[in-house]
């Protein structure tokens, strides 16, 4: 079923129509909030800051262009922090399930345990949003361009506190929007909010990449070809599965006899989706966030801490002025993506639980003994295909920007950020949402057939 066919069929079902309208309505409200800016911001200095730091550009990608850096309306929106604090809080809580036995037991307590962990993540999100908001204000006060700062260094503490609270409040609001979409809408709310932010800044990014339409035809053609090839490759990997053959034995339940049958257990090559990239970017931004706290005021030295903070801001990004730092940054970024891919796959797929479920349903893998041997086999297969998925994610996000820059002659931190990050998120979230929509339609077709 095509996308438009699925949407047309969904609009004819009252329940699905309500889910779609809720999702679209919350996205529209989010985009309206992203257009409301904080007063007193120097647009020219803001544009210069983001043009000289590629990492901030990637962060802006996930905040829905909360930092408007093009045109005459350059400014900082009230939702500029985006979902970064919430994502960081989620990372910390998932790491705690591995570190803390109590948190791990809580995660296994069913719906009640998951609700408690979600509540803790919300509280942590508020704290991280306040910290990150204050870090941004320090950066905006210290960064100077042509003798001007983004926020005036003489800004009073009550005004700074007001800005921090506004930025944190914006994060809390869109976190709430994401949870509403997940519960009452269609798809994963957090992923859809991020995708909506990326799509919202595509028109401006296209104009920036093509220099207002004056770019060379060959450059635009190469960019389009790379985009199509990357999108096709992402779809291929996102849809790829390793099918493990399974055989169910004949069972007798009461007076009912269930015949054995052959089937397969699908294991996705990219089980983690786009989550590892989001996690990795959040972790890579931590040094810059904490460096912002010690950023010296414009025109001052700031001592050792100030010099360190200035060095982090200038060099700790994917396209900095020092080559060996750039190489180290990309290496750490690649390693984090691979590590988070294995970590998130281990969180979402437990071979022990899968083997136990197969055993309880009198199902086995031909040639593999049920129980521990099956778990070891599944773990071995999953580690191999996860390695392929992790390498693919690393190549898309780290190697592709450099390759695109070489083929198009453009700076790797300009335009649409065709590092595959934006394309991967948009394509991945679209595929997952489409699958959920088709599943909902299929369920209602079977329900109508049974009636």
Express each pLDDT in 177-195 by its tens digit: 989 998 888 888 888 888 8
252 pLDDT tier (thresholds 50, 70, 90): low
CA distance 74 to 39: 11
Q: Average pLDDT in the 306-312 region? A: 75
Pick the closest to residue 444 from 18, 24, 9, 23 (CA basis). 9
Q: Using CA atoms, how far apart are residues 126 and 175, in angstroms rounded to an integer?
A: 10
Within the chain, what is the greatest distance between any pair of CA atoms?
Answer: 86
Dihedrals phi, psi of 246, to nearest 5 degrees:
-130, 155
- pLDDT at residue 449, rounded to an integer: 41
3-state secondary structure of 251: strand
90 in Cβ contact with 188 (< 8 Å): no
> Any idea how long the chain is?
451
CATH code of 63's domain: 1.10.3370.10
Place of tokens 């690649």: 334
Number of domain units in the chain: 1
pLDDT at 227: 79
Taking a C-beta distance cutoff of 8 angstroms, is the pair 337, 393 a contact?
A: yes
3-state secondary structure of 76: strand
346-379 tens-digit pLDDT: 878 888 888 888 888 778 888 888 888 888 999 9
Position 204 scores a pLDDT of: 67
Structure tokens given for 418:
């065709």
What range defines the domain where residue 234 resides? Answer: 3-450
pLDDT at residue 283 above 50? yes
Per-residue confidence (pLDDT) for residue 2, from 0 to 100? 61
Return the pLDDT at 448: 46
Summarize the confidence of residues 267-293 as an average pLDDT.
78
Q: How many CB atoms lie within 10 A of CB 383?
A: 13
Q: Which of 172-181, 202-211, 342-351 has the lowest mean pLDDT?
A: 202-211
pTM: predicted TM-score of the whole model, two decimal places? 0.78
Nearest-CA neighbor of 413 among 59, 42, 20?
Answer: 59
| Lowest-pLDDT range of 282-286, 354-358, 383-387 | 282-286
Tokens 């809408």 label which residue?
A: 185
């Amino acid at each position: 079923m095509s996308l438009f066919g699925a949407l047309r069929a969904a609009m004819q079902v009252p329940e699905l129509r309500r889910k779609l309208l809720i999702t679209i309505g919350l996205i529209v409200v989010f985009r309206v909030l992203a257009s409301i800016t904080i007063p007193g911001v120097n647009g020219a200095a803001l544009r210069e800051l983001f043009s000289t730091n590629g990492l901030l550009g990637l962060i802006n990608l996930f905040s829905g262009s909360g930092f408007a850096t093009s045109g005459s309306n350059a400014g900082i929106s009230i939702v500029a922090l985006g979902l970064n604090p919430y994502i960081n809080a989620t990372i910390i809580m998932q790491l705690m399930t591995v570190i803390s036995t109590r948190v791990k037991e809580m995660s296994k307590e069913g719906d009640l345990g998951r609700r408690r962990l979600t509540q803790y993540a919300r509280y942590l999100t508020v704290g991280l949003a306040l910290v990150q908001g204050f870090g941004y204000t320090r950066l905006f006060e210290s960064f100077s361009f042509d003798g001007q700062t983004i926020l005036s260094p003489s800004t009073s503490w009550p005004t700074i506190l007001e800005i921090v609270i506004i930025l944190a409040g914006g994060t809390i609001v869109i976190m709430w929007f994401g949870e509403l979409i997940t519960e009452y809408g269609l798809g994963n709310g957090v992923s859809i909010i991020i995708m909506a932010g990326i799509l919202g800044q595509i028109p401006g990014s296209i104009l920036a990449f093509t220099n207002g339409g004056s770019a060379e035809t060959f450059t635009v053609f190469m960019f389009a070809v790379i985009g199509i090839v990357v999108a096709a490759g992402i779809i291929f990997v996102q849809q790829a599965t390793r099918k493990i053959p399974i055989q169910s034995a004949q069972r007798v339940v009461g007076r009912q006899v269930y015949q054995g049958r052959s089937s397969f257990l699908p294991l996705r090559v990219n089980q983690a989706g786009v989550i590892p990239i989001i996690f990795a970017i959040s972790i890579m931004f931590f040094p810059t966030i904490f460096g912002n706290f010690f950023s010296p005021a414009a025109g001052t030295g700031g001592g050792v801490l100030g010099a360190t903070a200035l060095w982090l801001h200038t060099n700790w990004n994917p396209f900095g002025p020092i080559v060996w730092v750039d190489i180290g940054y990309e290496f750490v970024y690649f390693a984090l993506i691979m590590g988070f891919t294995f970590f998130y796959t281990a969180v979402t797929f437990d071979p022990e639980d899968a083997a136990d479920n197969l055993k309880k349903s009198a199902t086995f893998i031909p040639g593999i003994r049920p129980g521990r041997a099956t778990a070891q086999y599944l773990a071995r297969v999953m580690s191999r295909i996860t390695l392929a998925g992790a390498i693919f994610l690393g190549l898309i996000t780290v190697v592709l920007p450099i390759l695109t820059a070489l083929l198009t002659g453009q700076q790797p931190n300009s335009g649409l950020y065709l590092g595959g990050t934006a394309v991967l998120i948009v394509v991945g979230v679209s595929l997952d949402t489409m699958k959920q929509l088709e599943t909902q339609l299929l369920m209602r077709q079977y329900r109508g057939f049974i009636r």
